[in-house]
């Protein structure tokens, strides 16, 4: 190993095309399971358990190119049903399925846990809790902002991205 930072990331030139594996989800992208028994497969509405918990996902273009080269693309998807959904969340949901950024707005940890008691998303690092039926409103903990929602539609039972994230991604940094 050389002494002078051979592992430093080579900065992309301004005229380089953006890396398709790290750009934000695009309209028409599929959502693909990040872990679990279906890892790598596109998510279908019917696969998801009604009432949660969430599954983790990354976006992929229609040809299957996965955009998992940026952790800010981590998405959580849950079939929570339309009962009690806020107007705003209903507008972004497809068949009772909601999608949000999986990156906590506190310190960027994955929002990978589920509270059975509160039927809500939980960040595993510092315990922030987000309401999936109300635009990921903060129910508890140090998170300063709602999670960004990702508008969805369904086509033949398959979940498709219908618009960009509705707010800034990631945590607060000093």
**Segment 8 to 27, residues that bind another protein, using CB under 8 A:** 8, 22
- For the chain, the DSSP string reads --SS-TTSPPPPPTTSPP-TTTSPP-TT-EEEE-SSTTTTSBPBGGGSPBT---EEEEEE-TT--B--SSGGG-EEEEE--STT--HHHHHH-BTTEEEEESB-TTT--B--EEETTTTEEE-TTT--EEETTTTTEEEESS--SPPPB--EEEETTEEEE-S--SS--S----
CB of 108 to another protein, least distance (A): 4
Residue 113 touches another protein, criterion: CB under 8 A:
yes
Residue 38 touches another protein, criterion: CB under 8 A:
no
Nearer to another protein, 90 or 124 (CB): 124
Q: Is 159 in contact with 44 (CB distance < 8 Å)? A: yes
Cis amide linkage into residue 53, ω under 30° from 0: yes
Binding footprint of another protein, residue count (CB under 8 A)? 39
x/- mask, another protein, residues 72-111, rule CB under 8 A, reads: xxx----------------------------xx--xxxx-
Nearer to another protein, 127 or 163 (CB): 127
CB of 112 to another protein, least distance (A): 5
21, 70, 86, 154: residue in contact with another protein (rule CB under 8 A): 70
Sites of contact with another protein (CB under 8 A): 1, 3-5, 7-8, 22, 34-36, 56, 70-74, 103-104, 107-110, 112-113, 115, 122-127, 129, 141-142, 170-174
């Amino acid at each position: 190993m050389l002494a002078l930072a051979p592992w430093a990331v080579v900065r992309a030139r301004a005229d380089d095309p953006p890396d398709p594996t790290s750009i934000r989800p695009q309209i028409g992208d599929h959502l693909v399971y990040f872990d679990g028994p279906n890892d790598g497969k596109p998510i279908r509405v019917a696969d998801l358990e009604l009432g949660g918990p969430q599954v983790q996902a990354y976006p992929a273009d229609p040809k299957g190119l996965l955009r998992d080269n940026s952790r800010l693309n981590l998405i959580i998807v849950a079939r929570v049903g339309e009962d009690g959904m806020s107007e705003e969340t209903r507008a972004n949901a497809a068949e009772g399925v909601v999608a949000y950024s999986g990156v906590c707005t506190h310190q960027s940890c994955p929002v990978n846990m589920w509270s059975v008691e509160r039927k809500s998303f939980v960040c595993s690092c510092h315990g922030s809790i987000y309401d999936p039926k109300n635009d990921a409103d903060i129910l508890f903990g140090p998170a300063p902002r709602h999670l960004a929602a990702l508008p969805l539609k369904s086509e033949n039972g398959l979940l498709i991205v219908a618009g960009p994230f509705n707010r800034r991604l990631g945590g607060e940094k000093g």
